[in-house]
Amino acid sequence: MNLIEDLRWRGLVAQSTDEAALQEALKKPLTLYVGFDPTAPSLHAGNLVVLLVLRRFQLAGHNPIALVGGATGLVGDPSGKNEERSLNSTEIVEGWVNRIRKQVSAFLDFDAPKNPAQVVNNLDWTSPLSAIEFLRDIGKHFSVNQMLSKDSVSARLEAGGISYTEFSYQVLQSFDFLELYRRNNCTLQVGGSDQWGNIVAGLDLIRRVEQGSGHALTVPLLMKSDGTKFGKTAGGSVWLDSEMTSAYAFFQFWLNSDDRDVINFLRVFSFKTHEEIIALESSHNENPGLRDAHRALARELTSLVHSEETTERVEAAARALFGQGDLSELDESTLASALAELPRTIISSEQEIPSWVDLLVATGVVDSKSAARRVIKDGGAYLNNVKVGSEDFVPTKSDFLCGKYAVLRKGKRDLAAVELA
């Protein structure tokens, strides 16, 4: 199976300009790019879809360019938005560009002997141009009528209007494709399906200015089976930066995937072979309770984004939280990230430590002291996985892991954290 057929099997092909011509072009190494605008300090799980497609192209022998939009990030893409983006300062965008450059670099091979990856910033070729030069040399090739017909623009016009700043975004993105075509002989742009109009506009610009040709390939926007946007949780976006989404929370996001989504996620994100994924699908269909597919997905993605060592630590933390490991063996950062997902109460190191009963009520795991006492009476009360046998039990400071945390458990699954501040 060739690369395009593999991408189609994984559900990663939405549109292409001429698939037969692209298939032919891919018989030899070609240069392609994917653009990432710095709209936040980190990429999120949704960005992984196209980022990993870029990685798949490199593994197939092609030359990948990850473009971080220092210029386009200052303007803002109207795609998918019903209102104007808030423009960030040059200093903020520059900081985000540097962070995202480092992030995308972790997924590509810059030392490959034949097809090393590159990371570029479109501010490098946009900022030297004057407004007059840009309007004369680039803007004259764009028809306003065609620009108005783009889905992202027409949707904004129907929603109340669009500024000239965001209206001009597709001109800037098209200019990126032209420049990479000139500088790197880049002939393929890959992006989300919402970028189709912008990518095709870039191809048209290459044809008009350089009498050249290229290809476009878009990837479907990923949605969950319940109709909600992929990569979102009750707490917000799932970020690739561990300071914004802990490795533990990242692992749990994939582990807690809906049963209806997990096999599709494996196809989209995993680098396992078709045979391995089909085997996991069969196991999942026969006994979804084993969660083999979920665990395989969570392990692979967490290892890819954070490292195998980190994955081992967060799995150990998950086991320990539910009584299948020693909590005292966890390092403080792993323990803190795991407990961050739990109901918690914070008590001052200056105050007297409340009883286990009072702490369980304070965290909200039970709604009354009498309910907490019943838990103890029924044998389901634990502090740091050690059974609590007395209704009057009061933890001491020595019971706090790393001198700071205590884990309360009611039964097998209900957990809470106490933090000594």
- Residue pair 12/52 in contact (Cβ under 8 Å)? The answer is no
Residue 325 has a pLDDT of: 86
Co-location of 9 and 50 in the same domain: yes
How sure is the predictor about 153, in pLDDT bands with cuts at 50, 70 and 90? confident
Residue 44: give the domain boundaries: 3-219
The pLDDT tens digits of the residues spanning 26-47 come to: 999 999 999 999 999 999 999 9
- Check pLDDT > 90 for residue 380: yes
pTM above 0.85, yes or no: yes
The pLDDT tens digits of the residues spanning 177-213 come to: 999 999 999 999 999 999 999 999 999 999 999 999 9
Co-location of 333 and 265 in the same domain: yes
**Residue that finishes a domain, picked among 219, 243, 269:** 219
Co-location of 299 and 335 in the same domain: yes
Average pLDDT, the chain: 93
DSSP letters of 37-90? --SSSS-BGGGHHHHHHHHHHHHTT-EEEEEE-TTHHHH---TT-SSPPPPPPH
Nearest alpha carbon to residue 91 among 168, 165, 38, 43: 38
Residue 421 has a pLDDT of: 86
Co-location of 172 and 37 in the same domain: yes
**Residue that finishes a domain, picked among 339, 358, 376:** 339
Co-location of 328 and 357 in the same domain: no
Co-location of 145 and 94 in the same domain: yes
Q: Give how many domains the chain has, as a whole number.
A: 3
Residue 76 has a pLDDT of: 84
The pLDDT tens digits of the residues spanning 318-337 come to: 899 888 888 988 989 889 98
Co-location of 254 and 313 in the same domain: yes
- Parallel/antiparallel/unpaired status of strands 186-192 and 215-219: parallel
Burial of 130 (C-beta count, 10 Å sphere; 0-12/13-18/19+): exposed
For residue 300, give both structure tokens: 């692979």
- Residue pair 44/237 in contact (Cβ under 8 Å)? The answer is yes
Residue 162 has a pLDDT of: 86
Quick one: what percent of the chain has pLDDT higher than 70? 99
CATH number at residue 178: 3.40.50.620
Binning the chain into helix, strand and coil, the percentages to the nearest 5 are: 50, 15, 35
Task: Give phi and psi for 335, each to the nearest 5.
Answer: -60, -45
The pLDDT tens digits of the residues spanning 249-301 come to: 999 999 999 999 999 999 999 999 999 999 999 999 999 999 999 999 999 99
CATH number at residue 391: 3.10.290.10
For residue 73, give both structure tokens: 């990030």
- Residue pair 199/216 in contact (Cβ under 8 Å)? The answer is yes
Co-location of 93 and 227 in the same domain: no
**Residue that finishes a domain, picked among 309, 339, 369:** 339
Q: How far apart are CA 150 and CA 413, in angstroms?
A: 50
Dmax over Cα atoms in the chain, in whole Å?
Answer: 83
- Check pLDDT > 70 for residue 80: no
Co-location of 113 and 196 in the same domain: yes
Co-location of 335 and 349 in the same domain: no
Q: How far apart are CA 416 and CA 159, in angstroms?
A: 45
Written as one letter, the residue type at 207 is R
- Provide CB contacts within 8 A for 244, sequence distance 6+: 41, 42
What are the Cα distances from residue 368, in Å, to 191, 361, 362, 373, 375? 53, 6, 9, 9, 11
The pLDDT tens digits of the residues spanning 333-361 come to: 889 988 988 898 999 988 899 999 999 99
Co-location of 291 and 196 in the same domain: no
CATH number at residue 296: 1.10.240.10
The pLDDT tens digits of the residues spanning 387-412 come to: 999 999 999 999 999 999 999 999 98
Residue 179 has a pLDDT of: 98
